């Protein structure tokens, strides 16, 4: 039997000391950054991955990585290339698909459900981040051939560059969230 539910892809890096949240680690230390990352990955999965309205797949890097998950989920390698190439490859097989990162505090099932609802009337949906990037991207069947081409990743231009690839298509935006990339982001989150 074919599963026609939309697909949630959780992009995740294997939680290894020194390999995750490197910019954050410079400000709070590698062990604290690893604890933060592993906790966030677990929180995202608990909040959104096991909802029956969609299928969830973990897209892991590096390829062949072991992901210490509490519950079993399908695991796929992200493969080579920049973030845009990896996201493009991961989304291609799916008619309606949403990607989230594994390190954004506050993502829940309601956000994922809102993204899939938006894809009924829009060709793409984005969850903007305060820093000019995005914490979620969702694609419907009507998408450009290179949805993530010519994007200046890890910059304040990432969202604008990606939206520019969707000229002539309907775009929806979700709420703005703050991602945690630096010690300043981390301490601001702790203050909340």
| Residue 177 DSSP label | B
Say if 2 falls within a structural domain: no
What average pLDDT does this structure show over 43-53? 93
Cα(94)–Cα(9) distance, rounded to whole angstroms?
10
User: pLDDT tens digits for 119-177?
Assistant: 999 999 999 999 999 999 999 999 999 999 999 998 999 999 999 999 999 999 999 99
Say if 1 falls within a structural domain: no
Asked whether residue 71 carries a pLDDT value surpassing 80, the answer given is no
Please tell me the predicted confidence (pLDDT) of residue 1: 62
Please tell me the predicted confidence (pLDDT) of residue 3: 78
Strands of the chain, DSSP E: 7-13, 55-61, 75-77, 97-101, 124-128, 134-139, 171-173
Say if 134 falls within a structural domain: yes
Say if 85 falls within a structural domain: yes
For residue 11, the domain's CATH number is 3.90.550.10
Asked whether residue 66 carries a pLDDT value surpassing 90, the answer given is no
Least confident window among 46-60, 67-81, 95-109: 67-81
C-alpha to C-alpha distances, 49 to 73, 125, 143, 189, nearest whole angstrom: 8, 19, 24, 23
Say if 128 falls within a structural domain: yes
Say if 150 falls within a structural domain: yes
Torsions phi, psi for 105 (to 5 deg): -65, 140
Asked whether residue 192 carries a pLDDT value surpassing 80, the answer given is no
Say if 80 falls within a structural domain: yes
What average pLDDT does this structure show over 78-88? 97
pTM for the full model? 0.94
Q: Is the dihedral of CA 64, 60, 156, 179 positive or negative?
A: negative
Residue 142's SS3 state is coil
Cα(115)–Cα(134) distance, rounded to whole angstroms?
13
What average pLDDT does this structure show over 32-54? 94
The number of folded domains in the chain is 1
Asked whether residue 27 carries a pLDDT value surpassing 80, the answer given is yes
Please tell me the predicted confidence (pLDDT) of residue 179: 87
Cα(72)–Cα(15) distance, rounded to whole angstroms?
16
* Confidence class for position 67, pLDDT limits 50, 70, 90: confident
Instruction: For residue 19, give the H/E element and its range.
Output: none
Domain that holds residue 108: 7-191
């Amino acid at each position: 039997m074919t599963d026609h539910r939309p697909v949630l892809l959780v992009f995740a890096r294997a939680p290894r000391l020194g390999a995750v949240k490197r910019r954050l680690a410079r400000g709070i230390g590698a062990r604290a950054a690893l604890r933060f990352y592993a906790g966030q990955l677990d929180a995202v999965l608990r909040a959104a991955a096991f909802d029956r309205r969609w299928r969830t797949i973990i897209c892991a890097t590096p390829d062949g990585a072991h992901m210490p998950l509490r519950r079993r989920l399908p695991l796929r390698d992200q493969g080579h290339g920049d973030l845009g190439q990896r996201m493009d490859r991961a989304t291609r097989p799916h008619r309606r698909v949403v990607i989230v990162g594994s390190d954004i505090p506050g993502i829940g099932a309601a956000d994922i459900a809102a993204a899939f609802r938006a894809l009924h009337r829009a060709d793409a949906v984005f969850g903007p981040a305060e820093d000019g990037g995005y914490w979620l991207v969702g694609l419907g069947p009507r998408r450009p051939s290179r949805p993530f081409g010519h994007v200046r990743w890890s910059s304040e231009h990432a969202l604008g560059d990606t939206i520019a690839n969707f000229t002539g298509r309907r775009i929806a935006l979700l709420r703005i969230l703050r991602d945690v990339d630096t010690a300043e982001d981390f301490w601001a989150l702790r203050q909340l």
